[in-house]
Amino acid sequence: MRFYFPTTFADGCCCCFCPQFVEDYEPTKADSYRKKVVLDGEEVQIDILDTAGQEDYAAIRDNYFRSGEGFLLVFSITEHEAFTATAEFREQILRVKAEEDKIPLLVVGNKSDLEERRQVPVEEARSKAEEWGVQYVETSAKTRANVDKVFFDLMREIRAKKMSENKDKNGKKSSKNKKSFKERCCLL
């Protein structure tokens, strides 16, 4: 399973999946992480691509979006501008993936441990996610609150989409279809 992780902010919240919290995260062109996890009793390997700092590389970003099967739109709750940017990233994803009906996507407000510095009200973020028909979750990379949840929720959405597509294609579910999810799953 491959997992690409585009981000929409400059100060870096992508360290969510690092083994330990990084105080002075520096966004780069792209960092990748590989991890084996157990998703509902099944061992899967995820490849996570952190595209923070890609704002000036539209062609590269489009390639990441094209190959991705799921997306986390992450913003810092302490920066309203980052929240606003999620709409632009979503539009880019929809443009690149225009032929797809439903694209697994979650809106993620990070830095929930910094409530006193909040600039994005929960209701505003939740309302935007509802408008887009997606889930909104708040996380904290520092305390690890809901970090695993967003990844597992997104992986489940991708699996459901793949199983539905395979069922539509074949008229029924089979163990072969389950194997194909295990072998290849891209999340952005």
pLDDT(110) > 90: yes
Q: Given this model, what pLDDT does residue 52 score? A: 61
Q: Map out the domains of the chain as residue ranges.
A: 2-187
CA distance 109 to 73: 8
Spatial distance between the Cα atoms of 28 and 5, rounded to a whole number of angstroms: 13
DSSP bridge partners of 106: 72, 135
Q: Where are the alpha helices (DSSP H) in the chain?
A: 58-67, 80-96, 122-132, 147-170, 175-183
| Residue 179, phi-psi category: left (phi > 0), alpha (psi -120 to 50), beta (remainder) | alpha
Confidence band, pLDDT 50/70/90 cuts, at residue 106? very high
Mean pLDDT to the nearest integer, 98-118: 93
Residue type, 88: E
**Residue 103 DSSP symbol:** -
Most confident of 81-90, 134-143, 151-160: 134-143
Segment 1-47, tens digit of pLDDT: 444 444 443 334 444 545 444 555 555 556 667 788 888 998 887 87
Over residues 149-156, the mean pLDDT reads 92
Q: What pLDDT does 107 receive?
A: 95
- What tens digit of pLDDT does each residue of 170-184 get? 875 445 445 445 545
What is the average per-residue pLDDT within 160-179? 70
Would you place residue 162 in the very low, low, confident or very high pLDDT band (cuts 50, 70, 90)?
Answer: confident
First to last CA, the chain: 12
Residue 48 has which token pair? 């996570």
pLDDT bin (cut points 50, 70, 90) of residue 128 is very high
Q: How confident is the model at residue 165 (pLDDT cuts 50, 70, 90)?
A: confident
Instruction: For domain 2-187, give the CATH number.
Output: 3.40.50.300
CA nearest neighbour of 159 among 43, 35, 70? 70
pLDDT score for 27: 54
Q: pLDDT of 47-98, one tens digit each? A: 776 666 555 666 777 777 788 888 889 899 999 999 998 998 899 889 999 8
Buried b (16+ CB within 10 A) or exposed e, 149-180: ebbebbbebbbebbeeebeeeeeeeeeebeee
Q: HSE (CB half, 13 Å, CA atoms) of 91?
A: 6
User: Which range, 64-68, 147-151, 184-188, is most confident?
Assistant: 147-151
DSSP state of 55: T
